[in-house]
Every structure is written in structure tokens, then in C-alpha cells.
Structure 1
Amino acid sequence: MPRALTALQLAQQTSPPSPPAGYTAVSARAGDLLYTEDSAGVERLLAAGPTPVRATSAVASNSTTLADATGLGLALQSGRRYMFRFSGQYTAAAATTGLGLAVNGPTLGAEGLLANIHIAHTNQTPMLGAVTAYNTAILGTASAAATRMPWEVWGWIHTAAAGLLQLRLRSEVAASQVTIAAGAYGYAWAVG
């Protein structure tokens, strides 16, 4: 028997799969909304959101200027509210070099943006900050150097225009490299 897909996995299929048990149809409408219909004709929202993204190769920076993290941009629709998450691991050229993370994206709606940014300097030293504006980095001041450490960016956004919600990175120290490891990912789901 095939393994059942989660609602998020169903939403990200390029063509709708067979419906879950007890449902007769899976359909996409209104852009990023995915619905099912049961045998009585009652619809149920399965999931909503843009296609998840994953970095297929490492993304590095040795600049103190923010740059887009290649492959980690989520296509959002206009006039929607989304919850989002980017997550992965990073390394740095030296223990004295920290990672900086931020987001950039489409024109914000009235409710704006709130992003929480967590960067682990070491196993014992986490860093957590919050931003409410694009291109405002939470900047680490240390790292575990070549040892991979986790990072996460999560929050919510209200869009006034369609566009990419893009993860951005920078190094704390000019000419000292920070690298987001391949496999970092991002996803979002519409909440209104």
C-alpha cells in the first residue's frame, strides 16, 4: 500500500495526485489553494502555499553586503498573509566570523513582516533576534568555524504585491567566508 501524502506534500505536486481516502477529487483553485471533495460533495482545504524550495548546492558569501541565497526564494501572491520558514546549516571560515541573515520580498501589506532569526554560534551559544523590515540582518559575531551549526528564519508576512520572499546572507567579517550548506530549504503556507 502506498504511503499517504501530507497536505503540504499534496499541495506541492505539479499535477494533483489521487485524492486521499474518502475523497473523490483534488483540485487547485485561486492560485495556491488546494481542495479535496468528499463523496457527499463537501470541500475541504488541504493546503495552501507556494512550492517549497531547497538549495541544491552550497551558497557562500565573503562580503559584508547582503546577497540573495541562491535557490531560497518563495513565490508569494499579492494580497495574502503567509507563515514562512527557512532552515539549514552553515559553516564559517573562522570561529571569529559570524553569519548574517535577512529576508527581502514583495511590497508589504498593512500588516507587514515579522521574521525571527536564530543562528547557533556553537552548541552552547545561540543567537535569536526579530526584524520587521526587509534587509535588516541579524548578525552573528562568532561561529563554530568548520563545524556545521543550524540556523532558522521564520515568521509571517502580509503582501501587497506578488513576488519572491528571498532569504539573504552576509559575512560578519569582510573577506572571511560563511557558507550555507546544500539542502537548506524554505516553505510557506497561506493563512489568509
Structure 2
Amino acid sequence: MKLLAAALLRQAASVPTPAAGISALGALPAGPGLRGSDGGSQLLHQLAVGRVTSALTNSTTTLADMTGLALPVDAGGVYLFEFSGTYSTSSTSCFIAAGVNGPSAAGTGLMCNFHLHIGVGANTWHNGCTAAFGDFNTPAFVQAANAPTPWRIYGSAEIGATGGLLAPQFARNSGAGTITIQAGAWGWLWRIA
């Protein structure tokens, strides 16, 4: 039986090449990384998380990024993501619209769903998959004015030649009123390739 010694991880620009037959684990700025004795590197995970710290409002039909949930993406990366929280509307005739903003798309591009949970046994979905940055979908349903309604946006994105930020967006889709994303909304982004 071989016992492992305690290790202290610290963030570094690179993981040093270890001795023959050993793999080194390090904490890189983009996430944990491994380096084998052959000098080859492999990023284990690149996970970013965010949170909305105070309520966000939008009374226009122009999509706005959800502050606190804009997460970094690299050129050429493939990512899985999920953003979730609660929203409310000031009027039952004012529906939420939601989408995802990003720097550029390539290959498989963007594929995401927008889901609202209205109550026990009463879920509603948008009418299709959002397939481009800056596009939106809306379930066109309001539980009641000023009542918190859970929402969720999830999917995948392949980033093109330009990196930047990937962020969920929101606006009002119809009617007069204001859409509010409550504080505490959260999200994660995981680079898988």
C-alpha cells in the first residue's frame, strides 16, 4: 500500500513537470490541472460560478445581461451551463423573455432551453430551443403579478474565434410592466473541451 503525503494547493501560472512516473496536480488560474512526467498537461475542470447580489430590473423589450452571472469563456472552448433563480413581473400582461449572450459561436454553436416552474404539476417551457446568442424565448405565462416564479436556463455552447463572457439575459416580451430578477439567482459554466 502506498500512502499519499498531504499536499498544499496554490494557484500558479503552470504546473511543474514531476519526476518520472509521477503526476502533479496544481491549481491553475483556469481551474485544476495535471501534468505527467512526460511534460504533458491536461486541464481537469474549468468551472466558473456567479450569483446575482441585488435585484435586477428591465422594463424594456431589449435583452439585458444579468449582472453577476456573466462568466468567462475561452476561444474554441465547449461549455455546459446552467443559470437559475426567481423572477417576478409587475403585471400579469407582462411576460419574461430570456436568452444567452456570448462573444462568438462556432461548430455546434448555442443550444439552450428556458424553463419556468409555475407550481406543483404546472411547468411551462418556451416553444423551442434558443440557438443563437442574443436570441430569446418566452413561455408567455405569468403566475400572478409580483409573485416570485422559478426560472432556469441550461444548455451548451461552442465558442468561436473570440473569447469573452457568456451571460443569461432577460427583458419583457409583451405588455407594459417591469421584469425583476430577484437577488440570489446563480449560475455555473463548465468547460468540457
TM interval, shorter chain, is: 0.7 to 0.9
Match of 2:3 in 1: none
Q: In angstroms, what is the RMSD of aligned CA positions?
A: 2.8
Question: What percent identity do the matched residue pairs reach?
Answer: 28
Q: For residue 50 of structure 2, what is the aligned residue in structure 1?
A: 53
Q: 1:136 to 1:25 in 2, by over 3 A?
A: closer
Q: Superposition pairs for residues 151-190 of structure 1, below 5 Å?
A: 151-160=151-160, 161-190=162-191
Check the 8 A contact 1:99/1:178 in 2, yes or no: yes
Q: Which blocks of at least 5 consecutive residues in structure 2 are unaligned?
A: 1-8, 13-22
Match of 2:68 in 1: 71
Task: Flag the 1:121–1:99 CA change in 2: closer, same or farther, 3 A.
Answer: farther
SS in 2 for 1:53: strand
In the alignment, the residues of structure 1 paired with residue 98 and residue 109 of structure 2 have an alpha-carbon distance, to the nearest angstrom, of 18
Give the structure 2 partner of residue 130 of structure 1.
129
Task: Say which of 20, 24, 32 aligns to 2:30.
Answer: 32
Code of the aligned partner of 1:117: F
Q: Which amino acid aligns with 1:70?
A: T
CA radius of gyration, larger in:
2
Q: Which runs of 5+ in 1 are unaligned?
A: 1-12, 17-22
Distance in 2 between the 1:55 and 1:163 partners?
Answer: 19
Q: 1:155 to 1:114 in 2, by over 3 A?
A: same
The TM-score, its normalising length taken from structure 1, stands at 0.76
| Deviation string, structure 1 residues 141-190 (Cα, Å, up to 9, x no partner) | 22122221111111111111211112110112354011111011111111
Aligned amino acid, residue 52 of structure 2:
A
TM-score, normalised relative to structure 2: 0.76
Q: Which 4+ residue blocks in structure 1 deviate beyond 6 angstroms?
A: none
Tell me the matched-pair count.
169
Q: Write the distance in 2 (CA, Å) between the matches of 1:79 and 1:24.
A: 26
